[in-house]
Amino acid sequence: MSSYTLMIAPSLLAADFTRLGDQIREAADAGAGWFHIDVMDGRFVPNITMGPFIVEAVRRATDNPLDVHLMMFEPERYVQAFANAGATTISVHYEASPNLHRTLQLIREAGCRAGVAINPHTPANALEAILSMIDVINVMTVNPGFGGQTFMSEMMPKVAQLRALTLDRHQHIDIEVDGGINPETIPAAIQAGANVLIIGTAIFSHPGGITTAMHELSQYLDEAVTD
């Protein structure tokens, strides 16, 4: 695990959108890594959220990498728009991409890192045959569509399986966990081999504010690594 950068990726879905720029800067100053942006189309998932226009605004608020999570059908139609808006990584869902290999190619050609997100029912070995096309894997630890849901610990063996696979193949792939990550669930996620912790509610709805949340969560990260 030592060659992987362990980081917190704040999920902007839980941010206060009337103060988005300030909240992004506060989280960045408190040590945030990537900013995670949840794009939902109202079809693949029940919810509708944001599009390239917001990504472009976030791009102007920070120099940190932007991790765009597309929860939509036919994501290939929008790859170029999100790349133009300033995405660093674009992740598409395995379940929404019948021509996944081609879509990942398209993402890399657009100058972005290629990510695949897998829903709770999708097994780790679904990605084995196209691993060389993948830079980031998002293991969903809730059903996609909403923030503030409960972490599914039964996804951890999948994270461990994927980490073992990437190490076996000597491939540098970031493994994200997405949904329900907080001080209680961080240790299991890190022990399984995740290195990017996507966190919404536990940062932006923390009663002590964003900076306090980030500092507390970073401490749990350090402890989980030294354990």
User: Active-site residues: which are they?
Assistant: 38, 178
* Position 13 contacts ligand DX5 (CB under 6 A): yes
Would strands 7-10 and 89-93 be described as parallel, antiparallel, or unpaired?
unpaired
Should residue 199 be labelled a site residue for ligand DX5 when binding is judged by CB under 6 A?
yes
User: Given candidates 180, 196, 213, 214, which one binds ligand DX5 under the rule CB under 6 A?
Assistant: 180
The answer to whether 178 contacts Zn ion (rule: CB under 5 A) is yes
Taking the C-alpha atoms of residue 181 and residue 173, their distance in angstroms, rounded to an integer, is: 20
- Please identify which residue in 59, 69, 93, 206 interacts with Zn ion, judged by CB under 5 A: 69
From the list 12, 28, 38, 100, which residue makes contact with Zn ion (rule: CB under 5 A)?
38
Residue whose CB is less far from ligand DX5, 142 or 162: 142
Would you say 189 and 159 are in contact if contact means Cβ atoms under 8 Å apart? yes
* Stretch near Zn ion under the rule CB under 5 A, chosen from 33-41, 52-60, 118-126, 200-208: 33-41
95 binds ligand DX5 (CB under 6 A): no
Hey, which bits of the chain come out as E strands?
7-10, 35-40, 66-71, 89-93, 113-118, 136-140, 174-178, 196-199
Pattern 144-173, ligand DX5, x by CB under 6 A:
xxxxxx------------------------
Q: How far is the CB of 57 from ligand DX5 (least distance, A)?
A: 18
The CB-of-70 to ligand DX5 minimum distance in angstroms stands at 10
Cβ proximity to Zn ion: between 59 and 69 the closer is: 69
Nearest to 155 by CA among 130, 124, 198, 197: 124
In angstroms, what is the minimal distance from the CB of 10 to ligand DX5?
Answer: 9
CA dihedral 188, 222, 69, 83 (to 10 degrees): -150
Amino acid (1-letter code) at residue 70: L
Please tell me whether residue 198 binds ligand DX5 under the rule CB under 6 A.
yes
Q: How far is CA 96 from CA 116, 122, 133, 138, 151, in A?
A: 10, 12, 17, 14, 22
Q: In angstroms, rounded to a whole number, what is the distance separating the alpha carbons of residues 180 and 152?
A: 8
Position among 36, 113, 163, 206 found at the interface with ligand DX5 (CB under 6 A): 36
